[in-house]
Chains A and B, each alone.
Chain A
């Protein structure tokens, strides 16, 4: 990696942070929109560049030392295949959510763009950092922004759901801190690579204390990931949030999954063939119950947004369960499934907004503004001179088409990427042939079936049944955002082999924590970390 490209690693954090500050002082609305749109597009392009770098065979890891302090002493940012993949996912979702919000939601409350960009900063930081305490800081950055976004648009239901969401996450953050401090107390380091190296040296009572610290940390991660029984906060919060916020929140549970993956492979190195040993049964049990609970929750759900909330949980549960069950190829399939389902759920959250509009159930139902400045009802379309929305039945046809694609993706039916992901997981699970694998295969099938029933029932009720129906006013940008996300899913289907090869490489890399440690700390200790491939 050459000099300029090396500094690109820090850009996904610094750029949205700086532009978020700018949008606070930028006064005219079009300037604010232009700033945040430009920043999001730039972050997406940078992420894709980093993804291309990470997928080149031979390199695949880049370590950025903040302030040029060597690894165990300074804080490092580590770009590897997993974090490049997650970066690209988060910036894709961010762009779609932002474009969607331009139609209405962007003006429904104060300082939407600043909060939005700060959330992006926190997400990217959490994916890139190689330091445990720094991970906590970025978690707090993204959570603080998400507290603002969940209340975006105000109204009693949002404030009520937001209150629960904030209380639970503050509790989880305290657990995170307890875990981090216990781990620091035992090992004396917070650098994840250094930690992974020192774990072999601790034994006896210290080892027990270390595992207790990891368990507390794991509870915090799993709360964020929404694993059973810690995930009951998720569906009510996500269904109360406004559509663009909910679409971006679809990746927030994946931050928890990412942190669990990272910690599991570094702190409990995989023994030959199996998964991360000590934490495996808990993860398997929790993941399986998460999938089961979500399937039941979907069948019981009576609104689109609750179905979407439970589908967020299914993909988290699948990755956690497969991480527990072990097996490289199954985990690769699970990562593919996670990518595809996160994109599909985000598209679905955006589509729900349009579907509810078609149902006539949105209404202006907004309470008086909390902040007097720049607050408008998103459904108040202003003077009629504005761009006229698509108000012909084409809108209904497009919404229905989008709904069918989302349903296929969420239920994991052929021919789209949801099916490829589920098939890759199941094929690998069949090969291992353990009892747990068969339980998982059954559950995945049952959860697909539950998703199909739930979506068909509510879809027929809304779209195909006779009755009172409002022809929704839909803006072009709203369709563009949803179509963009669905096109990425279609792209993942047609280029399935390439994506699966990438996730295979990612998992192979995760199963070799020694390479990660060597890349961060430098070979033979003391030598500065270098990731440059020979030119």
Chain B
């Protein structure tokens, strides 16, 4: 399970970074989204991977090792909301840039072809 998750995070990050360095604004925003997904998965995994372990305390089960770490789950929720909002905001700026400059190049003008 760890290998699969690590591979997923790695592939997402690599694709994200590659897209981030592309010249079109749409590629940049998709790259940033992929990096955000990778980071969210990473945060989720730092608490340790567990299957079937609840994060909320049950008075009947006093043994704390039976629970998953709830903090990364709370953190990842915050991180998802923030990255979602930032992506939406970036999308607005991207559209404004497209409207004002007439091109979707990140520098607002076409490079030398």
Contact = CB atoms under 8 A, between A and B. Distances in A.
A144 interface: yes
Interface residues of A, number: 30
Interface string B85-96: 110011001101
A130 to B, nearest CB: 16
Contact of A170 (B32, B42, B101, B106): B32
A154 B79 CA distance: 29
A160 B35 contact: no
Interface in B38-55: 39, 42-43, 46-47
B75 A147 contact: no
B23 interface: no
Interface of chain A, helix or strand or loop or mixed? Answer: helix
B82 A140 contact: yes
Given A178-B42, A181-B46, A184-B72, A160 B85 contact: no
- Could you say which of A137, A164, A170 has the most chain B C-beta atoms within 10 Å of its C-beta? A170
A181 B40 CA distance: 10
Contacts of A181: 39, 42-43, 46, 72, 75
Interface of chain B, helix or strand or loop or mixed? Answer: helix
Nearest to A185: B46
Given A156-B108, A160-B97, A167 B78 contact: no
Contact of A184 (B46, B85, B107): B46
Contact of B90 (A137, A155, A166, A190): A166
Contacts of B42: 177-178, 181
Interface of A: 133, 137, 140, 144, 147, 151, 154-156, 159-160, 162-164, 166-167, 170-171, 173-174, 177-178, 180-182, 184-185, 190, 367, 370
Given A151-B96, A163-B97, A184-B72, 12 more contacts: A137-B78, A140-B82, A163-B93, A171-B20, A174-B36, A174-B39, A177-B42, A177-B43, A181-B39, A181-B43, A185-B46, A190-B71
The 7 closest A-B pairs by CB, nearest first: A185-B46, A181-B43, A160-B108, A156-B100, A181-B46, A159-B97, A177-B39
